[in-house]
Structure 1
Amino acid sequence: MTLVTLKDVLQPAYEQGYAVGGLVALGWEDMRAYVAAAEAENAPVILQAGPSCREHTPLPILGKMFRHLAENASAPVVAHLDHGYTYEECKIALDSGFTSVMFDGSRKPLQQNIDETAAIAEMAHAAGISCEGEIGFVGYSGGEGSNGTDPAEAAQFARQSGVDAMAISVGNVHLQQDKEGGLDEARIAEIDALTEVPLVIHGGSGVPVEQRTRLSRDTSICKFNIGTELRMAFGNALRAAVNSDPNRFDRVTILKETQDPVEAAARAVIRAFGAPPQK
């Protein structure tokens, strides 16, 4: 069994200078491919259930799926709730066997965000699991704009919320399909200098791979959330499988053809973060 908490995988990354992929899952096929990729790379992986995943599959079911994969994996696997918006939602994830919850209070006033995140962190820690919070708001490509993280507010949030990891807004954007943006390294350095907590980048698909590797090595960024580029790999593989034979209708045989392309894409993502071989 290699089911672990977020703190279990991020603390070594923080101390040794690498990052761990928070890979956003939408269903059985991609989460299975992510674990296979982690095993092949001999590196940890964070399986993430975000809002769209939870709309499709209930949290108690996702918890069982994540735990089944983790308990049979040779690599460390975190079962992580991504963008939980309420205390109740985080409690359901905890009760469903998740080993980490991310509470997103980033749209709320600073003190309210701190207070609500601290309550969820206290609940998580009492149950022996981890908590991630967010300060500053990470926007969406073609949608809601970002509100960059203020370094002084980040320091206050890190100090008062009790989180094990802190997501920041430094030029990153959710759902970005290209890698032309890049992150604000000066702002990252300011936040880094004022905090002593592993930092998280949401919207990591839009970050150039070279910058991911360098920041993993040289800063306190220990987790990049990657969803869009892996969804694109899945979608391309599925489209090719469907189009290859218009008479085929068995979805199991069609979906099997997504495994290898998604695993290969996930391996490339994981490899770029520079994790040393797991002992």
Structure 2
Amino acid sequence: MTLATLAAVLQPALKNGYAVAGLVTLGWEDMRAYVAAADAEGVPVILQAGPSCRAHTPLPILGKMFRHLADTASVPVVAHLDHGYTFEDCQEALDSGFTSLMYDGSQKPLSQNIDETGRIAEMAHAAGISCEGEIGFVGYAEGATSKGTDPEEARKFAEATGVDAMAISVGNVHLQENKEGGLEEERIRAIEAVTDVPLVIHGGSGVPSAQRRKLATGSKICKFNIGTELRKVFGTALRDAVNRNPDRFDRVAILSEIHDPLAAATRVVLRDFGRSVPAAQ
């Protein structure tokens, strides 16, 4: 079994100069392809259940799916709650076998965010698992505007909450479909100068690959969340599979054709973040 906590995969990344992918899952087909890709590349992977995933599949089921995939993998697999907005979300994920909780209090006043995230971190650590928090606010490509992370607030947040990883807002946005943007490296350097907590980039799909590679190996950013980039691959592969034979109705047959293109695209993404062990041959 290779089930791991977030801290167990991010601390070696911080020490050895690489990052780990947090891959946003929506169902069995994508999470299975993600683990296959990580196995093939010989790198750890973080399977993430965000709000849209949880709306489709209950957390107790997702926990069993993640843990089953970890049982079959040769690399560390983290079962991660992404954007838990309430204590109930986090408690249910903990009870469902998740090994990492991300509490998102980023739109609340700093003192409230620190207090609530700290309580989640305490709960997680008491259970032997990890906690990620967010300081600043990472907005959405077609929605709420980001609020950049203030380095001094980041220092206070990291020290007061005891989180194992800290998501920051440095030019990244969720659901960005192109890579025309980029991260604010000056702000990143100011944040990492005042904390040793592994840093997290949400909305990693919108970050140019060259910058992902640079920061993965040359900063304290140890986790990039990737969702939109691979969802687009899934959607294209699904459309192609359906269109190859419009009369076909068996979804198992159709979905079986998604695995290989999605796993191949995931391997390309994983190569942006460096390696913790040699790739499988």
Distance in 2, matches of 1:271 and 1:44, equals 12
What residue number does 1:25 align with?
25
Secondary structure of the structure 2 residue equivalent to 1:94: helix
Distance in 1, matches of 2:88 and 2:278, equals 35
Q: CA RMSD in A?
A: 0.8
Residues 75 and 278 in structure 1, CA contact (< 8 A), matched pair in contact too: no
Q: How does 1:89-108 map to 2 (within 5 A)?
A: 89-108=89-108
What residue number does 1:87 align with?
87
Distance in 1, matches of 2:79 and 2:169, equals 23
Residues 103 and 134 in structure 2, CA contact (< 8 A), matched pair in contact too: yes
Pick closer, same or farther for the CA change 1:105–1:278 going to 2, 3 Å.
Answer: farther
Distance in 2, matches of 1:137 and 1:265, equals 29
Q: How does 1:107-256 map to 2 (within 5 A)?
A: 107-256=107-256
Q: Residue type matched to 2:91 in 1? A: K
Residues 167 and 200 in structure 2, CA contact (< 8 A), matched pair in contact too: yes
Q: How does 1:16-95 map to 2 (within 5 A)?
A: 16-95=16-95
Q: Per-residue deviation at 1:278?
A: 6.0
Q: Residue type matched to 1:65 in 2? A: M
Q: Per-residue deviation at 1:148?
A: 0.4
Distance in 2, matches of 1:117 and 1:104, equals 8
For structure 2, the 5+ residue unaligned runs are none
Please give the TM-score of this superposition, normalised by the length of structure 1: 0.99
Residues 182 and 211 in structure 1, CA contact (< 8 A), matched pair in contact too: yes
Q: Per-residue deviation at 1:276?
A: 2.8
Q: Residue type matched to 1:192 in 2? A: E
Farther-moved stretch of structure 1 (232-241 vs 269-278): 269-278
Farther-moved stretch of structure 1 (175-184 vs 269-278): 269-278
Distance in 2, matches of 1:154 and 1:76, equals 28
CA deviation vs aligned residue, 1:216-255 (integer Å, no higher than 9, x gap):
1111000000000000000000000001001100000000
Distance in 2, matches of 1:27 and 1:179, equals 25
Please give the TM-score of this superposition, normalised by the length of structure 2: 0.98
Identity %: 73
Q: Residue type matched to 2:173 in 1? A: V
Residues 5 and 100 in structure 1, CA contact (< 8 A), matched pair in contact too: yes
Q: Per-residue deviation at 1:93?
A: 0.1
Q: Per-residue deviation at 1:72?
A: 1.2
For structure 1, the 5+ residue unaligned runs are none
Q: Per-residue deviation at 1:142?
A: 1.2
Q: Residue type matched to 1:81 in 2? A: L
What residue number does 2:7 align with?
7
Residues 13 and 276 in structure 2, CA contact (< 8 A), matched pair in contact too: no
Q: What count of residue pairs does the alignment treat as equivalent?
A: 279
Q: Residue type matched to 2:117 in 1? A: T
